[in-house]
Every structure is written in C-alpha cells, then in structure tokens.
Amino acid sequence: MIQRLLIVDESPFVRAALHDMLNHLSYEVESSCNKNEALELFKGCKGERKFDAVIIEFEDMHDNVTNNILSEIRNIDQNIKTIALGTKFCSKFLSNFTDYGFNAVLVKPFKLDELLFTLKFIEEPSQLQNS
C-alpha cells in the first residue's frame, strides 16, 4: 500500500500543488526541487520511513539525469513505484513510459481525480485494467 511519496520537480508551484493534493488524500509527502537531492533523500529513508512511490519530473527521453537517478532508485528498491511527471509535448515518451522504467505517467496539468487514478493504477494495475 502506498503511504509515503517523494515528489521531484523543479517548479515550486508543481511541488506545492502535488503536496497539497496528496496531503488531502492522506498521503505522507516529501519533496525536492533537485534530482540529486531527491536521490539523497531516498537513500536516507529506510525501514518504516522508506518511500513507497516517487513522482519525478521527466523532461524528455534524453534526460540522462532522470534516467540515472531512476536506475539508482531501482537499485536501492526494486519494488518502488514510479510515476513520470511529464507534459503533453513528450508524446513519444507518454506512450512508452514503461520502456524508461516508470510504472505510470501523469501529464501536467492534471486534476485531483487523475492523480488519484494514477496512484490506484500503480498500486493495483490489473484491478483497474479489468474494470
């Protein structure tokens, strides 16, 4: 069950909006504006304090910083759920997000119900696909 999330996005407005939405949905949230700082946060949280999911900004398919950090996060926790936070301008990526190691994608701008659906999808993808 997802209870604790890490948000990684350069925009303070996106981080604040996500933080507020997730708190409203009763999730515990930490955020970072910097992908390297986020990796350090992720590494520092273990046991009961570990993150269940990461929502990370993905700018384009050639975003090596995100690719490397995602790889490092997966090396620490193979079961971590990951959501790419992208824009509609990343259309090739949006249709192939699993090829880049993500469990789901959330397109900016998004609404609360889209965020909730995405979180449910990464928790129980087969349950939503069969409904």
Q: 22-54, pLDDT tens digit by residue?
A: 999 999 999 999 888 988 899 888 777 899 999
Which residue from 1, 7, 3 is spatially nearest to 82, judged by alpha carbons? 7
Contact 15, 7 (CB under 8 A): yes
pLDDT at 63: 61
Q: How far apart are CA 74 and CA 109, in angstroms?
A: 27
User: 25-34, 94-103, 106-115, 120-129: which range is least confident on average?
Assistant: 120-129
Beta strands in 2-131 (DSSP E): 4-8, 28-32, 53-57, 81-87, 104-108
Q: How far apart are CA 28 and CA 26, in angstroms?
A: 7
Structure-block tokens of residue 74 = 């997966």
Domain positions in the chain are 4-129
Domain 4-129 in CATH: superfamily? Response regulator (3.40.50.2300)
Structure-block tokens of residue 33 = 């504006």
Top-confidence residue, 65 or 37: 37
pTM confidence score: 0.86
CA distances from 67 to 26, 72, 83, 122, 131 (A): 29, 9, 13, 19, 32
